[in-house]
Amino acid sequence: MIWECFFMGTLLATGWILLVTRGVRGWCQPALSFVLGSCTYVVIGLGQVVLHLPTYPVVTLAIAWVFNLSCLGSALRAGRLTRASVNGPMLAASFGGLLMVVVTLRQLNFVTWHSDSFRYAMASALIADSHFVEMSTNLLTKRMFGYPVLHAPALFIGEYYFRSLAPLLATATTWTLAWFVFEGLNTSGATQRDKWLMSLIAVGLLVSNNRFLWNSFYLNGHLLCALTLLVTVGAGWLRARGSQPRATYVLLQNLAVPVLVTTRPEGALLAAFALVPSLASAGTSKAERTLLLSNLGATCLGWHGYVMHSCLVRGDIEASSIGLCGLGAILLATAFMVHRWQAVTRWFAYLVPAAEIALWCALLAFSLVRPAVMRSSIAATLRNVGLDGASWGSSILVLSALVAATLTFTRAPDRTLLRFPVTTFIPLMLLLAPLRGEAYRVGNWDSLTRMLIHIVPLAVLLLAASASSRGHLPFRRRVRAKAVQPTMATDGLARE
Amino acid sequence: MRRARAMPPNAPNTLDIKSMLFGALALAIVVNVAQFWSVNARTRKNYRSFAHYPNADLVAIDGHERSLFRRHHQRALEFREAISPGATLVFPADRELVDDELAQQLLSYGRARELRRVPYDPSVLGKSVRTTKHVLAKVKAKKRRAREFLVVARGRDAREFALLRRNETDMLIEIALLPKAIRSEVSP
């Protein structure tokens, strides 16, 4: 129990130091600290793997603490960390609360699993004993690194997983979502009451979802993927909305992206699609674009290069790793071009429609090449989602209907940043079926069914963020003909 | 990026979006809550939103005789039950000669501590080895193209094992039991 408390405390402390030394205050601190701390830990571990250093968790923790202390030291020297910048009660409540949650969850011992969970635990054990080179091609390409490395220190106490990690990630997801909604509505000038109410409703919608709660105890990387996707997209959206401090949002995005890439096999594609609107946004500076592109490119090249090399040593050729290495190289080349020639960014305005069209064309092409796989996948997905074949109930149907109605009947500035990753998710996931050469199945064990959680928090954010949007009727002219007096003008709308 | 089209605040097609959205999302919460327990009731224990287990040992969680976990990791579990934790394994350096799955299972769930890669051919060295005595664990091949698996040692406290192969059987043999010539090959 002490070891688990120490590890979770280290994650929280790492993120807290990163936030406080950048002057971030407020009720977002505990959740964002845990998210940033977890991401930093994964990034340190990733560095160890790519540089062929031992992957013992003690080494990772030692590097994390050296990093923490050097951050603290430099902030103190530069005068960025003063007594006034530290919110004592918030700090005490965060660590006290974390301790209580860990102790309670260790007693409750809730866990949900599936056969993949045993593979994740196996990967954790190999990382913990620094046997990473013994990972098979299957384990490297499917279970990857981001989630197992966070559970690896549990082997110290003879367990294969931390009982509190998944619930803490779920809490961080919920809390971060609430804060994104609150801060997003804040930039639209919504009233205090509306901001709190909508944040609470967003949290309610997420935690009342049966599959979200299942994922909150599930030994799998889905929730970490959902959290990092939410952070990547949400931070980009808030940055575009002009929320401050801007540098913190860039940091959040840049730490979440490597975790997203190394948590799920489709993570690199998800990260690329999540960043497209951020890169296309007129408000993104040249330096930010270069940083985002080079970060994603370097992570893809670093991780998938390592996987490709490990596969080649075993005599295997992994097409997906080769493809994603190529993507990494292209992204790095683009980052270089953006840095060198400003004129390149003119073309970024067409990124969103081009990516959307390319995705749908690819889906159409693969449907023609492998019609049977695509037909079976669509049929299975419709049964899973529409006829409750996979324990989602009708929640996905309801959520989809709400998203469709909101996108059709309302307009909001900068919403493309939230809309694009949501609307491209389904074609992207369907495209993975022919790419892996296997159709999706009916039941709880189906991959796409479980992957749907990746997009749920983001869809809820999209809905809640639309509270300050403008109404838009497609049959506008007819309404104008019957012109009536305006019915409402919220504070947010008045400011817009 | 294209921004939303600017509309005057008193545009006639402006709707009370905020109230409608509050209502719709509240309704969605009610729908989720209403079906929550019925979804749990018709789902297997490991797919329910909450499932309590007596401890955090995966082997205990799904370790019963015909479980998924035991089926997938039987070789490692047999090794773990037969041999004390911390054993050293010697495997051929050529990774194509032995399934990687076996090495990673023995290192994770089998509780072996170390794995050394040595250049030898397990089929060539295994030809002259007899394993009628000291078989501590045996896993029969249930699938086509799968191999039988034996753990051969004098007792639970054996420390060093080499992987050899004979007649479609993978054998983890305590190095001390091997003939001197083979012993020098696997532990130079």
Instruction: Name the residue with tokens 């009916």.
Output: A442
pLDDT tier at A481, thresholds 50, 70, 90: very low
What pLDDT is stored for residue A190 in this prediction? 86
Restricting to A residues 27-86, those with a Cβ less than 8 Å away from any Cβ of B are none
Q: Which two tokens stand for residue B7?
A: 């509309």
Q: Which residues from chain B sit within 8 angstroms of residue A406, using beta carbons?
A: 21
What pLDDT is stored for residue A65 in this prediction? 96
Average pLDDT over residues A439-457: 92
What pLDDT is stored for residue B133 in this prediction? 82
pLDDT tier at B64, thresholds 50, 70, 90: low
- Is there a contact between A213 and B49 if contact means CB atoms under 8 Å apart? yes
Q: Which residues from chain B sit within 8 angstroms of residue A110, using beta carbons?
A: 50-53
Q: Which residues from chain A sit within 8 angstroms of residue B62, using beta carbons?
A: 113, 118
Q: Quote the percentage of chain A above a pLDDT of 90.
A: 76
DSSP string, A110-175: B-B--HHHHHHHHHHHHHHTT-GGG--HHIIIII-SHHHHHHGGGGGGT-SS-TTHHHHHHHHHHH
What pLDDT is stored for residue B15 in this prediction? 55
Name the strands in the sheet holding B88-92, side by side, starting at the edge strand that comes first in the sequence: B114-118, B88-92, B160-166, B169-174, B148-152, B135-139
- Is there a contact between B103 and A159 if contact means CB atoms under 8 Å apart? no
What pLDDT is stored for residue A491 in this prediction? 32
d(CA A68, CA A9): 12
Per residue in A75-128, pLDDT tens?
A: 999 888 888 888 889 999 999 999 999 999 999 889 998 889 999 999 999 999
Average pLDDT over residues A33-46: 97
What pLDDT is stored for residue B45 in this prediction? 87
Q: Which residues from chain A sit within 8 angstroms of residue B2, using beta carbons?
A: 352, 416
What pLDDT is stored for residue B46 in this prediction? 87
- Is there a contact between B108 and A202 if contact means CB atoms under 8 Å apart? no
Alpha-helical runs (H) found in chain B? 17-41, 58-61, 68-72, 74-82, 100-108, 122-126, 180-186
Average pLDDT over residues A171-175: 97
Q: Which two tokens stand for residue B152?
A: 């051969």
Per residue in B32-55, pLDDT tens?
A: 999 999 999 989 888 998 888 887
Q: Is A105 on the interface with B (CB under 8 A)?
A: no
Phi, psi of A442 (to 5 degrees): -95, 130
Q: Which residues from chain B sit within 8 angstroms of residue A412, using beta carbons?
A: 4
Per residue in A96-110, pLDDT tens?
A: 999 999 999 999 889
Partners of B88 in the β-ladder: B114, B160
- Is there a contact between B50 and A315 if contact means CB atoms under 8 Å apart? no
Restricting to A residues 113-172, those with a Cβ less than 8 Å away from any Cβ of B are 113-115, 117-118, 121-122, 125-126, 129, 131, 134-139, 159-161, 163
What pLDDT is stored for residue A476 in this prediction? 52
Average pLDDT over residues A352-366: 94
DSSP, collapsed to helix, strand or coil, labels residue B188 as: coil
Q: Which of A326-335, B29-38, B63-72, B95-104 has the lowest mean pLDDT?
A: B63-72
Question: To the nearest whole number, what is the mean pLDDT of chain A?
Answer: 90
d(CA A153, CA A64): 13
Average pLDDT over residues A131-149: 93
CB B18 within 8 A of CB A490: yes
The whole-angstrom distance between A410's CA and the closest CA on chain B is 8
Instruction: Name the residue with tokens 């279970």.
Output: A143
d(CA A342, CA B131): 72
Q: Is B132 on the interface with A (CB under 8 A)?
A: no
CA atoms within 13 A on the CB side of B130: 2
pLDDT tier at B63, thresholds 50, 70, 90: low
Q: Which of A66-80, A82-96, A335-349, B13-27 has the lowest mean pLDDT?
A: B13-27
Residue B14 has pLDDT above 70, yes or no: no
> Does the model's pTM come out above 0.80?
yes
The whole-angstrom distance between B167's CA and the closest CA on chain A is 24
What pLDDT is stored for residue A494 in this prediction? 31
Comparing CB atoms, the residue among B18, B43, B108 nearest residue A122 is: B108
What pLDDT is stored for residue A68 in this prediction? 93
Partners of B152 in the β-ladder: B135, B173
Q: Which of A41-50, A448-457, B152-161 has the lowest mean pLDDT?
A: B152-161
Choosing among A55, A124, A134, which should be mutated to test the B contact, i.e. which has the most B CBs within 10 A? A134
Output the CA torsion sign for A43, A47, A53, A59: negative
What pLDDT is stored for residue A85 in this prediction? 81
What pLDDT is stored for residue B131 in this prediction? 74
Inter-axis angle of helices A416-423 and A222-240, to 10 degrees?
Answer: 150
Residue A421 has pLDDT above 70, yes or no: yes
Highest mean pLDDT among A417-431, B68-82, B125-139: A417-431
Q: Is residue A253 exposed (0-12), middle (13-18) or buried (19+ Cβ within 10 Å)?
A: buried
Per residue in A177-195, pLDDT tens?
A: 999 999 999 998 888 999 9
Q: Which of A52-56, B16-20, B66-70, B104-108 has the lowest mean pLDDT?
A: B66-70
Q: Quote the percentage of chain B above a pLDDT of 70.
A: 88
CB atoms within 10 A of CB B19: 13
